[in-house]
Amino acid sequence: MAWKTSAKIKSSKRTKRDMWVGFKPYGIGETKPNHYKEMLKTLWENRDNLPYAWRILHKGVCDGCALGVAGFHDWTLSGVHLCTTRLNLLRTNTMGPLDHALLADVAPLKTLRNRELRDLGRLAHPMVRRAGEPGFTQVSWGEALDLIADRIRATTPDRLAVYLTARGITNETYYVAQKFTRFVGSNNIDNAARVCHAPSTTTLKRTIGVAATTCSYTDVINSDLVVLFGANVANGQPVFMKYLYLARKRGAKVAVVNPLREPGLDRYWVPSNVESAMFGTQMTDEWFAVNTGGDLAFLNGVLKVLLADGAVDRDFVRDHTEGFDDVVVELDRESFDDLERQSGATRADMERFARMYASARSAVLIWSMGITQHERGADNVAAIVNLGLARGNVGRPGAGLMPIRGHSGVQGGAEMGAYATALPGGLDVNAANAAALSEHYGFAVGDRPGITAEEMVEAAGRGEIDVLYSSGGNFLEVLPEPDVVDAALARVPLRVHQDVVLSTQMFTEPGQVVVLLPAATRYEKRNGGTETTTERRIAYSPEIEGPRPGEVRSEWEIFVELARRVAPERAEQCTFASGQEIRDEIARVVPVYSGVELLRTTGDAIQWGGTRLCEGGTFPTPDGRARFLAVAPSEVDVPPGSFVLSTRRGKQFNTMVHEQKDPLTGAMRDALFMAASDIEGLGLRDGDRVVVRSDHGEMRARLHESPLRPGNVQAFFPEGNVLLRAGRRDPASGVPDYNAVVTVEAAR
């Protein structure tokens, strides 16, 4: 029960009672997800289209997180894989068209949440709304595309911006979208990777020469130690919990560095394993509570301990790296007193982690948006890379660096060049690389980076964008200060929203014209498509037979047709007749994707770079050596009585909220997570209503007592975005900062 190239790892049949949570079958009465109930709910939701729903699950590659499951199997384990994230997204793929008459007046639609808009059904016809009109009018595809093409021709390339989300978008769509954007003369194309793992790709490229995970899931399962930094995989990548479970069964230790002791990482019931489903599994051996933004200081403290203990792998550092001496100089300047204050952890915590790490023969270091979505996200990642290099935990079995991806399209999106700061293959945007790509394409490619996602909105607010083309996504709910975003979008003369369902940003008032284009889902795309997983596996998902709502089109076909209308005299330079033709060109233009053109059916996949990158300590850098980066912690000015707020995820997929109650924490969407001691210090109680204020906004919330490092609070994303400041981002990568200093007081 596995694909032909699978490692086919099986779970040990021996029980480990010391890992059990207790004797409550499936955690009856506990605050936890009910996976079996979710399965029944999915069955009921899709009752009108069950054969098609089954074919999607049986043949398609999951359009949820980026772990990569094709059908019911992956390339790591023997057995069935099916997670609730995939089930929650299934209805979006199987439901019929919405009643488009509802779009004639958008006023009632503006009162609906995104989930309520999704539940109306699929967007099935092109629609147009002009300034001053109450709503949208249905038009033909020809009218819609001519309108867009005329506007693109009438403006200059620097006043065009294209953004793609990670909503099940395939590599083929990303590739054609970036080629189209460059065909019309612009590098202003970006995707959802910018707002999540941009610091990871930026720093990994700078330090080890490659912007991707260095290891495979098999390395996680076979490692001595797995460390999670700012990553709640129980929520974001639930399939990964099975990998952690198998690693624990094989003797691995698991450590978590995070401000909050996440319940799902503490104990979890893996539904596909009888032992874990019945008795639960204690997933984490050691917890290290840090302040929000305190990871860099904590990691530097750990490195100081490793140096003092003689636990640095000096041979690896000498033979395979550069820059370590600069790190040592920086660490010598940092006192443990300062590092304790900045990190929120004690020196004893740093020593405990360092000795746990030093005693492990191998370790996989995993991180996510708790590390990256900071004003110094790239430096945070650099501190993790330093830790990995210090013990040689790169390029060997059971070891590696893993920026775990939460959306199925983001790894491939950047590698296809749908990125303001990268060309296909993840190459830097510079004169030499642009010239080489121009040779492939037969037209001139710009040699300067484009504007990034948040910069697009800022430029729109200054009146510098004439056409903003969004494939999926919802800037209103993704970016900080939604009111500022709304005002900026309303200034754009032409906005194009290409999507499978309605979203709130579609109803921002038109600058002049708003066009809605109905997109096909991943499973409806002609000739199928591919995605690239966290472990660099390029997996093929076929076109699946089933109903097609109205006039939906494959997104790559829309871009091809638009190129023909913008510049018919040279349209052959951006023309593809099939998905296979796109894959053929990808294989030629992006050498590491060679073999993608041979993928034909469910289960077909290749892993670019092989099982692990940087094998034997040889790095794809000019001199073959990795780079340490000396990074210093910074102080966060938190006035007395204030708190550092970060945003978090609940029962949702990016901004797609599925339930008001988070099954892992029991918190509702209006929750403000706060430590018991902080609640008591404010003279309040768990459940009290409060007002949370920052310099940029306020929100009403309800206190939710949590095992959180005192001085820190958390609110759900996107609800908490009103508290964040627009324009504050990591200078190296452009990722927005999703944190703020806030005050909390009782609501009156």
Per-residue pLDDT tens over the stretch 86-136:
889 999 999 999 999 999 999 999 999 988 999 999 999 999 999 999 999
Amino acid at residue number 515: V
Residue 154 in tokens: 């009438």
pLDDT for 81? 80
Which single residue is written with the structure tokens 């099940």? 168
| pLDDT over 70 at 1, yes or no | no
| pLDDT over 90 at 272, yes or no | no
SS (H, E, C) 619-660: CCCCCCCEECCCCCCCCCCCCCCCEEEEEECCCEECCEECCC
Per-residue pLDDT tens over the stretch 519-531:
999 999 999 999 9
**Dihedral sign (CA 320, 325, 326, 328):** positive
Domains in the chain, CATH or no CATH each: 112-194+408-607 (3.40.50.740), 198-404 (3.40.228.10), 643-746 (2.40.40.20)
Residue 86 in tokens: 């995939």
Q: Which of the two residues, 652 and 230, has the higher pLDDT score?
A: 230
Residue from 193, 189, 191, 194 nearest 162 by CA: 189
| pLDDT over 90 at 503, yes or no | yes
54-59: which pairs have CB atoms within 8 A and are 24 or more residues apart?
55/544, 55/545, 55/546, 56/90, 56/93, 56/94, 56/523, 56/544, 56/546, 57/82, 57/86, 57/90, 59/541, 59/542, 59/544, 59/602
pLDDT for 263? 95
Contact 283, 268 (CB under 8 A): yes
pLDDT for 45? 94
| pLDDT over 90 at 632, yes or no | yes
Q: Where are the alpha helices (DSSP H) in 46-170?
A: 50-59, 84-94, 114-118, 141-154
Of 27-36, 224-233, 576-585, 610-619, the poorest mean pLDDT is in 27-36
Residue 689 in tokens: 């209503």
pLDDT for 376? 97
SS3 call for 185: coil
Per-residue pLDDT tens over the stretch 436-483:
999 999 999 999 999 999 999 999 999 999 999 999 999 999 999 999
- The region that residue 711 occupies, defined by phi over 0 for left and psi between -120 and 50 for alpha, beta otherwise, is left
Give the pLDDT mean for 390-394. 98
CA distance 734 to 371: 14
Of 261-275, 361-375, 503-517, the poorest mean pLDDT is in 261-275
Percent of residues, the chain, with pLDDT higher than 70:
100
Contact 416, 170 (CB under 8 A): no
Residues pairing with 689 in the sheet: 702
pLDDT for 627? 98
Q: Nearest 5°: phi and psi at 345?
A: -100, 165
Give the pLDDT mean for 160-174. 93
Residue 586 in tokens: 């990808």
Per-residue pLDDT tens over the stretch 308-344:
999 999 999 999 999 999 999 999 999 999 999 999 9
Residue 2 in tokens: 């596995």
- pLDDT-derived band at 717, boundaries 50, 70, 90: very high
pLDDT for 531? 96
Residue from 125, 187, 142, 293 nearest 714 by CA: 293
| pLDDT over 90 at 655, yes or no | no
- pLDDT-derived band at 64, boundaries 50, 70, 90: confident
Residue 712 in tokens: 């820190």
pLDDT for 2? 67
Helices (H) and strands (E) in the chain, counts: 27, 29
- pLDDT-derived band at 544, boundaries 50, 70, 90: very high
